[in-house]
A and B are shown apart, each in its own frame.
Chain A
Amino acid sequence: MYAADRLDLVFAALADPTRRAILARLAHGEATVAELAEPFGFRQPTISKHLKVLEDAGFVTHSRDGQRRPRRLVDGALKDVDAWLAPFRKQWEARLDNLGAHLERMNRKPKRSR
């Protein structure tokens, strides 16, 4: 489950179109800062700033490959964006589990006269 400040980081990171494009690029495989900067026509420090936001939000990490330090997506990070819904989902799953158990009890008990 996400804490509220964590959600702030996540959605602030995703609110920017350049950062979304960077994520889309990284979904196809790791890339260096230079490789990421090229298609956007940005200078590398600009891309590095965006990458820092994505790293702080937990979306992106970098490999230790000498000077290249290619960036890649954190496994499963984007799936967790749906995590805010998880408590609600769990609540209903538990509720319907209870309903199933209750229906079983209704079936086991002899019916009272109506």
Chain B
Amino acid sequence: MMTSNETRSTVDRATHTITFERSFPASREQVFDAWTKPEHVTQWWDPTGTPLVECTIDLRPGGAFKFVNDSGHAPPFEGAYRVVERPAKLVFDALGAVGTVLIESTGAKTRLTVTIRCASADHLEQFVKLGVDAGTNQTLDNLVVYLQKTSN
């Protein structure tokens, strides 16, 4: 578990899953619309804050989406929706990974949980596999966790 600013992130290497969680003082509908309407997505998707140059969304199961930033070299973020349940849930396939967006009410705030489950050959593993024999990844993880506990 790692905390930076207001975003909590966790990594589960056994399932190649990365999770980000954050609460916003906004309604569930607002958060869902911010994820699913091009005029909103364009404004926040790029990490640098630069508006997207292209954003198309066909919001229905099986519908495609494509987010293109202005960097010119990064591949577009594109895929298709699997589940569209305003304002609670959005599931999509993108770049070989499955993204799940859960939007829950926690009293005055709305909690957003983004889960990215990578395919086995995805980036989550490719770095870890550098120079590491098959089957040692779990051992390595266990070791690191163990050493962190004992050396703190």
A28 close to B150 (CB less than 8 A): yes
| B148 CB-CB contact with A under 8 Å | yes
A103 close to B31 (CB less than 8 A): yes
A23 close to B130 (CB less than 8 A): no
Task: Using known A-B contacts A23-B143, A103-B34, determine if residue A93 contacts B4 with beta carbons closer than 8 Å.
Answer: yes
Q: For the complex, give the distance between the alpha carbons of A92 and B4 in Å.
A: 11
- Set of chain A residues within 8 Å of B127, measured between Cβ atoms: 7, 84-85
B150 close to A7 (CB less than 8 A): no
Number of A-B residue pairs, CB cutoff 8 Å, is: 122
| B26 CB-CB contact with A under 8 Å | yes
Task: Using known A-B contacts A95-B47, A100-B22, A107-B30, determine if residue A78 contacts B132 with beta carbons closer than 8 Å.
Answer: no
- Give the interface SS of chain A, mostly helix, strand, loop or mixed: helix
For B5, B9, B130, B139, the residue with the greatest tally of chain A CB atoms inside 10 Å of its CB is B130
- Residues of B bordering A, CB below 8 Å: 2, 4-7, 9, 11, 18, 20, 22, 24-26, 30-31, 34, 40, 43-49, 112, 114, 123, 127-133, 136, 139-140, 143-144, 146-148, 150-151
Known: A89-B4, A98-B47. 18 other contacts (CB 8 A): A7-B131, A12-B131, A15-B131, A15-B136, A79-B148, A81-B144, A94-B48, A96-B6, A96-B22, A97-B6, A98-B45, A99-B34, A99-B112, A100-B24, A102-B34, A102-B43, A102-B44, A107-B30
- Residues of A bordering B, CB below 8 Å: 4, 7-8, 11-12, 14-15, 17, 20, 23-24, 27-28, 73, 78-79, 81-82, 84-85, 88-107
